[in-house]
Amino acid sequence: MVSRERRFVAVVCLALIGSCAGATVAAVVARAAGIATLGPAFAGVVVGALAACAGWAKRLAPKLSDELDGWFARRRKLRWLWIAAAILAIANTARLALFVADPTQIWASAFPVMPESAEHQCLAAYVRAGELAAAGHDDLWTYADYQSDRSTSVDGLHPYLADPYEYPPTFVVAPRAALAVTDDYELIRVVWFGISAVGFLLAYLALALWMRGRAGATALLLLPAIAISYPLMFSLQWGQAHVIVLAAAIAAMLQFARGRTKTGALLLAFATTTKIFPGLLLVHLAMRRQCREVAATLVAIAALVVLAAAVLGTGPLGAFVTEHLPRMSSGEAFAFTEDNPDNHSLYGIAFKLAAMGFDTGRGLAATLAWVWGFVAVALAAHGSRGRAEPARDAILWLGILCLGTLRSPFAPTYTAIGTLWLLAIAVESRSWSKALVAIAWVLLQGFPPVGGPAVNAIASLPSQAITIGIAVLAVWPRRAAS
């Protein structure tokens, strides 16, 4: 007989997934029909959550870890806190879905007391890059092309133009394809939200199910804490690709573990050609002598590059390799972020020191980034020794992804999604202090820039130290490799 704990946890997981999927489908239909989206999106949230729970709860609950059995009875006070957090997570996720469906509803945004945060859109840069590619541009990374004074033929895109596109051209194939279907930015935004939210939640659930035991059970119980975290909420609101990239990378490793090499290779290739840092998992696969998986991923990467060349032409690929990639490596491409204290990467330390009055700059920043790159590779290789174990490997995969994230010159608050996910799966199996994990969760929510440059730089250091330290601890082996 399935315990009530497993039934409750299954319902929460499915309600989160169903509400996002339902809101997305309803908003897409309403938008395509030319009617207001808020009402249909709200109905979609309710119907989607109920349909997911009714259709899958009985199938999912038996698959959850039996370590959940009796959890409510053993923790009578804590159970009410968890139930409250679960309800808040479902309501909060639904609220965000409503904002994505209707951006005029600022009250439903991630942080309504700061309305300007509702005006930012990372997705806008992706769609703009697709538009530039469609117009025959080779250089998709010119900062001026992404400013609000530039005209655009994509309906609804103009108000969100601000930051430039900073990824490889292979990822532009997706927005280029979307624009071939519709020139409605709000419609693209809703679909992208659904893909990102549902994709992340499914990957989170799949990893917890694969881990099983106490670690898997704890990860499931901590899903509400992840769902209400600001790094995830802002990333979904902004359409930031980091969410789906993490999900794809973890899904790839799960597919490899199940012997499904082709789908795993395609997922890891997508993640790598989108944000580069997931390629660090190839070091892990090589150390485990999974040569077939490495070869398949390299072939998939080559296939995606060929696809990009066929869709976009060879010009953007050449411009990326010869011009933009060196600028990314040196940090020059991210010059517009150098005074932003919300940066967890090693590169950002130099500019935080400069804000505190020290004579530092891009030279030190680039050196720190390159040193960290070598450290990340060495840690990934060292930590990957030893036999495969589900709980250990799950922590290792996320730890390696977190190490790779920090190589970027700019790793803002949304990159803490990986760290929070890592904390959720590692707190039990690594016996980390739950009090310290709770403190880390609070600090990783980000901080409002309320002071001057020096004050903001100092205030950002605790979350940066946690981000770096957790990644290193996760990958560092606990015992001698066998």
pLDDT tens digits, the chain, 482 residues: what are they? 789 999 999 999 999 999 999 999 999 999 999 999 999 999 999 999 999 999 999 999 999 999 999 998 888 888 999 999 999 999 999 999 999 999 999 999 999 998 989 999 999 999 999 999 999 999 999 999 999 888 899 999 999 999 999 999 999 999 999 999 999 999 999 999 999 999 999 999 999 999 989 999 999 999 999 999 999 999 999 999 999 999 999 999 999 999 999 999 999 999 999 999 999 999 999 999 999 999 999 999 999 999 999 999 999 999 999 999 999 888 888 888 888 899 999 999 999 999 999 988 888 999 999 999 999 999 999 999 888 889 899 999 999 999 999 999 999 999 999 999 999 999 987 878 888 899 999 999 987 777 888 999 999 999 999 999 999 999 987 654 43
Question: Is residue 346 situated within a structural domain?
Answer: no
Per-residue confidence (pLDDT) for residue 481, from 0 to 100? 41
Q: Tokens 């409750």: give the residue.
A: 8
Q: For residues 26, 178, 202 and 94, what is the CA-based torsion angle, rounded to 10 degrees?
A: -30
H or E, element range at 390: helix 390-405
Question: Is residue 246 situated within a structural domain?
Answer: no
Q: Which tokens go with 15?
A: 């309600």
How far are the Cα atoms of 137, 195, 311 from residue 315, in angstroms, in the given order? 8, 29, 11
CB 380, CB 361: distance < 8 Å: no
Counting the structural domains of the chain, the total is 1
Gyration radius of the chain's alpha carbons = 22
Question: Is residue 83 situated within a structural domain?
Answer: yes
**Torsions phi, psi of 184, nearest 5?**
-95, 105
Nearest to 349 by CA among 328, 363, 333: 363
Alpha carbons 152 and 457: distance in angstroms, whole number: 36
Alpha carbons 293 and 248: distance in angstroms, whole number: 15
Q: Which string of DSSP letters, residue by residue, matches 125-140?
A: HHHHHHHHHHTT-S--
Torsion region of 289: left, alpha or beta (phi above 0 gives left; psi -120 to 50 gives alpha):
left
Alpha carbons 356 and 461: distance in angstroms, whole number: 12
**Torsions phi, psi of 155, nearest 5?**
-65, 125
Question: Is residue 475 situated within a structural domain?
Answer: no
How far are the Cα atoms of 82, 175, 186, 187, 335 from residue 30, in angstroms, in the given order? 35, 21, 12, 10, 40
**Residue type at 249 in one-letter notation:** A
Question: Is residue 33 situated within a structural domain?
Answer: yes
**Torsions phi, psi of 113, nearest 5?**
-70, -10
Burial of 333 (0-12, 13-18, 19+ CB in 10 A): buried
CB 423, CB 441: distance < 8 Å: yes
Nearest to 338 by CA among 360, 316, 322: 360
Which residues, in sequence order, are bridge partners of residue 184? 155
Alpha carbons 287 and 281: distance in angstroms, whole number: 10
Which domain covers residue 90, as residue numbers? 1-108
DSSP single-letter state for residue 20: H
Question: Is residue 51 situated within a structural domain?
Answer: yes
Q: Which tokens go with 54?
A: 């009714």
Torsion sign over Cα 372, 375, 377, 379: negative
Nearest to 154 by CA among 118, 129, 171, 172: 129
Question: Is residue 114 situated within a structural domain?
Answer: no
Alpha carbons 232 and 229: distance in angstroms, whole number: 6
Q: Where are the alpha helices (DSSP H) in 406-452?
A: 416-429, 434-443
Question: Is residue 160 situated within a structural domain?
Answer: no
Alpha carbons 231 and 444: distance in angstroms, whole number: 8
Torsion region of 64: left, alpha or beta (phi above 0 gives left; psi -120 to 50 gives alpha):
beta
Alpha carbons 256 and 264: distance in angstroms, whole number: 5
**Residue type at 437 in one-letter notation:** V
